[in-house]
Amino acid sequence: MKIFRNACPRNCYASCSMLSYVNNGKLVKVAGDDQHGYTKGNLCAKGYAFTQYVTHPNRLKYPIMQSPRSSGNWKRISWEQAYTIIADKIIELNERYGSNLASGYNKFSGNIGLMHYAAEAMFNSIGPHTKPKGNLCLTTGNDALKERFKQFEQSSPEDMAAADLIVIWGANPAVTNIPQMKYIFQARRAGAKVAVIDPVFTETAAKADLYIQIKPGTDGLLALYAAKRIADSSFFDENYAQDCTNNFIQFKRIMEKVPSADKVSELTNAPISAIEELAELYIHAASSVTWIGFGMQRTNIGGENVQAISALAAMTGFLQKKKGKLFYAHDDLEQFPLHLLKFPEQKHSEAQASRAIDINSFAKNALELSDPPLKFLWIASRNPFSQDNNLQSWMKLIQQLELIVTVDLYMTKTAEISDIVLPAATHFEEMDLIVSYWHHWISINEQSLAGYFESKSDLQITRELTNKLNERSPGFSTFPSELEALDWIQKELSPEIQELYGIQDYTDLLSGPHLKKPEKIPAKEKFSFNIPDVSGYLENVKVQKDSLLFPYQLITPQSLLTIHSQYEHLSWLTGTDENSEDTIAEISAIAAEENKLMPEDSIEIFNENGWVDAKVKVNPYLAKNIVLVKQAGKKPINWIIVHQESDQCQETSTHFYDSKVNIRKKKVSRNG
């Protein structure tokens, strides 16, 4: 039996380090790595299920190609054939249009290891092309915080254990960040209070001392109310606050416009007693934690809400000489050289630069491109036909694409509509480096298994495709295809990174993950409050109220046993038969009564974008205007979600939770 050190590459807060036990080339067991100071030797159920994931019968074994597209008429092809078809298409488009702008890629979060920027490097190496920009998951909150704090430093999440108040706004760590619960429970055992603010009574809310079932999108108002109460309290040192901010007086004047508790209660749906209790908890806590989750920024008004909550966090932290801390996500990753992501773009005589289109509306934006239109699309670490919004635009886009290649481990919804599907490696079959966006540990991922049948790592695929491009058209790509994962990893561990993590080279990571040294906090720029337009904000909150056609807000958060569209088929993990699972629509008892619906009834969830069939589940804790549905599944709920761009033309996260829907009982067809 051999034991290797691996790291979970899923897009998740926890980025757990794990040990793989390999016997005769087979993965027999995975375990948490107790050298990891944050996860401390534990994994989630999805982590333990890797033994199933690696050799599941549905896993793709060979490159395959279908004709016609979407026919399901797949045939096995060799890698050599696959590379030739792809390289010839890219080169032919280049000849047709005079540049590579007709070729592009869409990539997101299937595997967040640093080696998985190989596709970005490969595309840069061929010169200007079409690429996504932005981050559909967390940009809104990130930008809002950066605007406020300039340099927003996130302390260690382990520190949460020492807080005496933890207020969680729109995150559900019991589902999405399981190791964090350990620190929250630790704080609570030592007497801390935990408050959860979420429209849905989640598994995390169930563990809280105070739960506020807020009306979606109204968090900012609640935060401003608490901020006003703090500023009015005798504890608050206004002179100090003025000294360390640019505009406290202006902010204070605005707070005067924040309505009274009964009005705030009416607009946020939070009981007055709960609103007051939240304010009191913040006033009396010596070391509070304010955690802004990604869930609450997935709306049009998310940025403003994040800003208001950050003001509250500032007022319960450094503005009051208290130890209050703010958590969201950090960008330790950006301290790395990121040689693959930032691989220099090959110069082109005519096309000046790549066309970068907003990932939130990728398909819609791609359809608007002309001269040349997008014709070839490479999809990796991504399942847009389940996870993206505006799938109607995707349907149109695929009609104009001449070649779609998807690299994945499984036959996903996106693979189903592709021409060629290439089998990707699991993280056990490649070497990589994993940096979290939540804790400050770095982990190495060793290769512990040989490639599964003909699967290959994304880096390997990129290297081989580069060779093919250069064989067909010498000098086409500048990507150094001779470099292996270890070479790139060593380049990432630059002297600065070695210093930061206290390592000499990669071998130090083989004996365990390393923690980033606390940085010297640079002299803080003064905090600037966002000066909200409170009356406009109130209007906005009111307008959101009334949609007669589509009275329910559709909330589709993350689920415990899946990660987005992944792991659904692992019945060992989910306990459900992968072929029989219906979409479940959770509705309130009132909504059930108003629509004369019973549990298990078949309904349609619909809006102007279409409908999705579902089975009713009555959730006694749900607010009456909310329909709660899981992501992915046979007909993903994202078929009726379309991101509404905000007016401010800035990059945002996708507004997944802004969707309005209605429900109706499904007519039983006469044919049975």
Ligand X SMILES: Nc1nc2c(c(=O)[nH]1)N[C@H]1C(S)=C(S)[C@@H](COP(=O)(O)OP(=O)(O)OC[C@H]3O[C@@H](n4cnc5c(=O)[nH]c(N)nc54)[C@H](O)[C@@H]3O)O[C@H]1N2
With binding defined as CB under 6 A, does residue 86 bind ligand X? no
Nearer to Mo ion (CB atom), residue 93 or residue 136: 136
Amino acid at 521: I
- C-alpha distances (whole Å) from 13 to each of 177, 436, 504 are 6, 7, 27
Tokens 């000066």 found at? 531
Record the tokens describing residue 509, joined without a space.
């990571």
Dihedral sign computed on CA atoms, order 425, 429, 433, 436 = positive
d(CA 132, CA 356): 5
With binding defined as CB under 6 A, does residue 123 bind ligand X? no
Compute the least distance from the CB of residue 427 to ligand X, in Å: 7
Nearer to Mo ion (CB atom), residue 412 or residue 478: 412
Tokens 């490159």 found at? 63
Q: How many C-beta atoms surround the C-beta of residue 188 within 10 A?
A: 18
Can you tell me whether residue 497 is helix, strand or coil? helix
Compute the least distance from the CB of residue 305 to Mo ion, in Å: 18
From the list Mo ion, ligand X, none, pick the one residue 320 interacts with, judged by a Cβ distance below 5 to 8 Å according to partner type.
Answer: none
From the list ligand X, Mo ion, none, pick the one residue 210 interacts with, judged by a Cβ distance below 5 to 8 Å according to partner type.
Answer: none
Compute the least distance from the CB of residue 574 to Mo ion, in Å: 20
Nearer to ligand X (CB atom), residue 36 or residue 413: 413
Contacts of 532 (CB under 8 A, 6+ apart): 220, 224, 254, 304, 307, 308
Contacts of 231 (CB under 8 A, 6+ apart): 238, 241, 252, 255, 315
Choose which of 171, 319, 435, 597 interacts with ligand X (CB under 6 A).
171
Residue 245 gets which letter from DSSP? B
Nearer to Mo ion (CB atom), residue 485 or residue 628: 628
Going across the sheet that includes 432-435, the strands are: 432-435, 441-445, 514-515
What binding mask, one character per residue, do residues 519-558 give for ligand X by CB under 6 A, x or -?
------------------------------------xxxx
Tokens 């040294």 found at? 517
Choose which of 49, 90, 91, 137 interacts with Mo ion (CB under 5 A).
137
Compute the least distance from the CB of residue 139 to ligand X, in Å: 11
From the list Mo ion, ligand X, none, pick the one residue 566 interacts with, judged by a Cβ distance below 5 to 8 Å according to partner type.
Answer: ligand X
Dihedral sign computed on CA atoms, order 401, 404, 410, 416 = positive
Nearer to ligand X (CB atom), residue 120 or residue 198: 198
Nearer to ligand X (CB atom), residue 94 or residue 381: 381
With binding defined as CB under 6 A, does residue 121 bind ligand X? no
Compute the least distance from the CB of residue 629 to ligand X, in Å: 8
Compute the least distance from the CB of residue 293 to ligand X, in Å: 4
Compute the least distance from the CB of residue 339 to Mo ion, in Å: 25
Q: How many C-beta atoms surround the C-beta of residue 612 within 10 A?
A: 24
- C-alpha distances (whole Å) from 11 to each of 158, 381, 434, 585 are 20, 10, 10, 25
From the list ligand X, Mo ion, none, pick the one residue 363 interacts with, judged by a Cβ distance below 5 to 8 Å according to partner type.
Answer: none
The C-alpha angle 85, 374, 119, rounded to 5 degrees, equals 60
What binding mask, one character per residue, do residues 173-202 give for ligand X by CB under 6 A, x or -?
--xx--------------------xxxx-x
Dihedral sign computed on CA atoms, order 573, 576, 579, 583 = negative
With binding defined as CB under 6 A, does residue 656 bind ligand X? yes
- For the chain, give the number of residues: 672
Tokens 């208290």 found at? 322
With binding defined as CB under 6 A, does residue 294 bind ligand X? yes
With binding defined as CB under 6 A, does residue 296 bind ligand X? yes
With binding defined as CB under 5 A, does residue 174 bind Mo ion? no
Nearer to Mo ion (CB atom), residue 307 or residue 653: 653
The C-alpha angle 70, 75, 77, rounded to 5 degrees, equals 120
Nearer to ligand X (CB atom), residue 386 or residue 530: 386
* Closest residue by Cα to residue 661 from 620, 614, 618, 617: 614
d(CA 414, CA 384): 6
Where do the DSSP E strands lie in 446-496?
A: none
With binding defined as CB under 5 A, does residue 391 bind Mo ion? no
Nearer to ligand X (CB atom), residue 94 or residue 204: 204
- Does 518 sit behind a cis peptide bond, omega within 30 degrees of 0 on the bond before it? no
Nearer to Mo ion (CB atom), residue 137 or residue 489: 137
Instruction: Report residue 36: phi and psi, to 5°.
Output: -85, 115
d(CA 552, CA 532): 27
Choose which of 210, 333, 369, 560 interacts with ligand X (CB under 6 A).
560
Choose which of 4, 7, 8, 13 interacts with ligand X (CB under 6 A).
13
With binding defined as CB under 6 A, does residue 109 bind ligand X? yes
Q: How many C-beta atoms surround the C-beta of residue 516 within 10 A?
A: 19
Number of shown-chain residues binding ligand X (CB under 6 A): 59
With binding defined as CB under 6 A, does residue 602 bind ligand X? no
With binding defined as CB under 6 A, does residue 217 bind ligand X? yes
Q: What residue is closest to Mo ion based on CB?
A: 137
Contacting range for ligand X; rule: CB under 6 A; set: 68-76, 164-172, 518-526, 612-620: 164-172
Whether the CB-CB separation of 497 and 335 falls below 8 Å is answered with yes
d(CA 268, CA 245): 29
Contacting range for ligand X; rule: CB under 6 A; set: 145-153, 358-366, 379-387, 437-445: 379-387
Q: How many CA atoms lie within 13 A of 597 on its CB side?
A: 28
Contacting range for Mo ion; rule: CB under 5 A; set: 129-137, 160-168, 589-597, 640-648: 129-137
Q: Which residues bind ligand X (CB under 6 A)?
A: 11-13, 108-111, 137, 169-172, 175-176, 197-200, 202, 214, 216-217, 219, 293-296, 299, 380-384, 386-387, 407-410, 412, 424, 458, 555-560, 562-566, 631, 637-638, 641, 656-657
Q: Which residues bind Mo ion (CB under 5 A)?
A: 137
